[in-house]
Structure 1
């Protein structure tokens, strides 16, 4: 019996590709372990920041220290972008992103020598998975790869390719249907640049979702990250017409300063972002918006930073992911003047995190007393469930039944989310008569 453990870093696209590798390995007779020691370790890496690179390196070194006989395969964005750096790590094989889909063949070809297989990222998106090997309630469907933006700080577009490559609608629909039939309650549609889906096929994200709107079942749909300029009126109409789509979007704003956005190579202004937020909140006042922000980008002044703080306070994001800028080799921004000192980056990050916590709590206070539908995903303790609602707010409540939807009412705030109680049918009937 050959055992494999897959360790995934980074985005939902990576998670999907790890699921695909796991299914191919299981078909070939390997046993995929969620944790513990294994004969093979596949490290599906990320390279979006220096910090995540350090985590990848640290994990590999710890595995090698504690599992001297195990074989380690490094793949993902770090392997794709920096194969010569990866070669210095104690791994047995280095695979690029396109090579992931042939993982079984590569494992069988291992011969004791360190080998590198990294090709240009131009493969069409045809993979199909049957379900998540780690998460039995939520599953991901990757529908697009590649990014045709030109953000000056980002190296991922070079790892993933600069051309949009979309999954044909008929393949997506077949995969989606199988997920529903297997009982997955939440299906996340994901891509490297999701809003550009279909540009190469003469279609778009709206048509993709419409292709599955008549599939029956007890499930909901969530979108992964999307860019500001891709939240069109047609996308907004989708939220109005399809009640299965979660009222939550992750829209990466990156900065609240037009000057910084211009230096970043982003294709919008702060006013464009605010306009999108207003449209979403007109559709639903509780519409949940999460975001990414980079602090300390080269040339970011104190005034630029304070504009970002102001934007966070005004929008009331339900969650903000904050990153200190770190230069990525080969990107234009790595050569920009106006480098912000590390101490200043840390202070700005600390200050913004505190503001983001305050505004997140303000958002959550507004939903106290409201009913939500929570997908229970795990037990906190015996008899206490936890999971996320359609707005991507984390709930804890007394109940039984992981993998099921539960109707709850929000009672109070917790550190990470809210405390709720289940709404029984008697209470609902009384409330509806009022």
Structure 2
């Protein structure tokens, strides 16, 4: 039998899909692409925005139309956060939530053999353990993502994720070391540690994120270690000093900002001010060699005035981010922000988003210009049709490079000679 997967959302979801796919393969299934015919179709859903829910529903309906006799499986954050809505969707044979992923093969085989519909959405409970999964291969990808943390206790006013993912729980260090050792043996030289609220790693184990990072850096064969998205207020000076002492650590910090206006940060229930955020940025730039700072920003949050927006715009300019993922606020059912007064019209949100995106492009251009003239190690990720390669430096600067004897997966020393709007151009030395 053939199984196909469709994944929405974050790197954690992508990791979990990879782990589930390996379990199906172990059970004798053949993997098919998301556009190919299959006997089983699995959607690993995201519910951060209502748009994500719509994409999930559309994809499920399309697959059912094109494969009327297949078994359709829905898992992930959408059914966990909105179980009644998920159960009501027509044509779904197996419905599970954000947990139970290690039982997905079992539930699917039951649905096939019993020809029955199965709904098993386990509620999150205080003290629940980390659902350990292992991934040994990421296909053609040259870097591996490793989920080490799940859940969030912060309850930002716009976010449904604590409902979908439950409380903080963490992967033990020995399990991290074991998984990374296998990945290193399989040729992966760079890993990215990811989680739902990554800096909360170890809260349930008496550990901190730095312990997991040091563990990853200690694994023989792993040459570069990155961290996923970070909540800025959870990074201590001591943790960052220990990170700076790790030669394998990649100085790329994705610090989620969400707004550059203190009044809006309070409305969002974020736990820092813009000045505190700026102090963290200054500390990073003082203690790491050529770091990059990237971020996410929500535009048009309820109550955001033009003055608030201009403060946010000015803050982006002041920080000088290497990259900004900006997007209009999306009203999310089940969150406090959905009921806040001052909901803005779509046209206002879209117009502000365009202005912020333009400023973000200027910041990115300035950052790329700063990289010109440097000599950096580049992990080659893909070969282009003209024979050149694309890859990333340790601080995640995108680079296009030409040279003799190059191959995907290599880490090569490269001189960055010039830059375009999107990347640096370099030559292997």
The question of 1:4 aligning with 2:3 is answered yes
Range with bigger deviation, 403-412 or 360-369: 403-412
Determine if the alignment matches structure 1 residue 117 to structure 2 residue 120. Answer: yes
- SS of aligned partner of 2:418: strand
Q: Which residue of 2 aligns with 1:107?
A: 108
CA positional deviation for 1:105:
0.3
In structure 1, the partner of 2:282 is 278
TM-fit CA distance, 1:377: 1.4
**Which of 407, 422, 425 is the matching residue for 1:416?**
422
| Alignment CA distance shift 1:325-1:212 (3 Å) | closer
In 1, Cα distance between equivalents of 2:353 and 2:289? 28
C-alpha spacing 1:89/1:352, structure 2 compared with 1 (3 Å): farther
- Cα offset, 1:126, TM superposition: 4.5
Q: Aligned to 1:74, what secondary structure does the other structure show?
A: strand
User: 1:338: which partner in 2?
Assistant: 342
Does the 8 A contact of 2:213 with 2:243 survive in 1?
no
**Counterpart position of 1:66:** 66
**Aligned equivalents of 1:368, 1:330: Cα separation in 2:** 47
Aligned equivalent of 2:409? 403
Residues 20, 218 of structure 1: alpha-carbon distance in 2 compared, 3 angstrom cutoff: closer
Q: Which residue in 2 is equivalent to 1:129?
A: 134
Gap regions ≥5 residues in structure 2: none
CA distance in 2, matches of 1:62, 1:411: 47
Give the C-alpha shift of residue 65 in structure 1.
2.8
1:296-352 deviation line (CA, Å, top 9, x unaligned): 111111111111111111111111111211121111111100111111001001111
- Tell whether the 8 Å contact from 2:373 to 2:415 is kept in structure 1 after alignment: yes
* Alpha-carbon distance change, 39 to 414 in structure 1, aligned in 2, over 3 angstroms: farther
Which one of the candidate residues 289, 294, 299 is aligned to 2:298? 294
1:74-98 deviation line (CA, Å, top 9, x unaligned)? 1111121123222325432211111
The 8 Å contact of residues 80 and 118 in structure 1, kept in 2 or not, is answered as: yes
How far is the alpha carbon of 1:210 from its aligned partner?
Answer: 2.5
Corresponding residue number in structure 1 for 2:255? 251
Output the CA distance in 1 between the equivalents of 2:207 and 2:250: 22
What is residue 353 of structure 2 aligned with on the other side? 349
In structure 1, the gaps of 5 or more residues are 424-434
Shift of 1:266: 0.5
Aligned equivalent of 1:315: 319
TM-score, scaled relative to structure 1: 0.93
Indicate if the aligned counterparts of 2:217 and 2:249 stay in contact, CA closer than 8 A.
no
1:364 is aligned to: 368
1:431 corresponds in structure 2 to none
Residues 147 and 395 from structure 1, CA distance in 2 versus in 1: closer, same or farther, beyond 3 angstroms?
A: same
Structure 1 distance, partners of 2:344, 2:135, is 46
CA spacing shift, 1:225–1:64, aligned 2, 3 Å: same
Alpha-carbon spacing, 1:218–1:224, altered in 2? closer, same or farther (3 Å): closer
Structure 1's 373 and 89: CA in aligned 2 closer, same or farther, altered over 3 A? Answer: farther
Contact 1:132 1:138 survives alignment (8 Å): no
* 1:233–1:89 CA distance, 2 compared to 1 (3 A): farther
Q: Which residue number corresponds to residue 206 of structure 1?
A: 210
Deviation at 1:37, TM superposition (A): 2.4
Give yes or no for the alignment of 1:25 onto 2:21.
Answer: no
Q: How does 1:210-221 map to 2 (within 5 A)?
A: 210-217=214-221, 219-221=223-225
In the alignment, is the contact (CA less than 8 A) between 1:386 and 1:395 conserved in 2? yes
The answer to whether the 8 Å contact 1:60/1:89 transfers is: no
Instruction: Report how far residue 273 of structure 1 moved.
Output: 0.6
Q: Is the 8 A contact 1:57 1:89 kept in 2?
A: no
- Which residue of structure 2 aligns with residue 229 of structure 1? 233
Query: How far is the alpha carbon of 1:382 from its aligned partner?
Result: 4.5
Measured on the aligned residues, the alpha-carbon RMSD in Å equals 1.7
41-50 or 82-91, which moves further after superposition? 82-91
The correspondence of residues 31-42 of structure 1 with structure 2, limited to 5 A, is 31-35=30-34, 36-42=36-42
**Secondary structure of the equivalent of 2:153?**
coil
SS of alignment partner, residue 361 of structure 2? helix
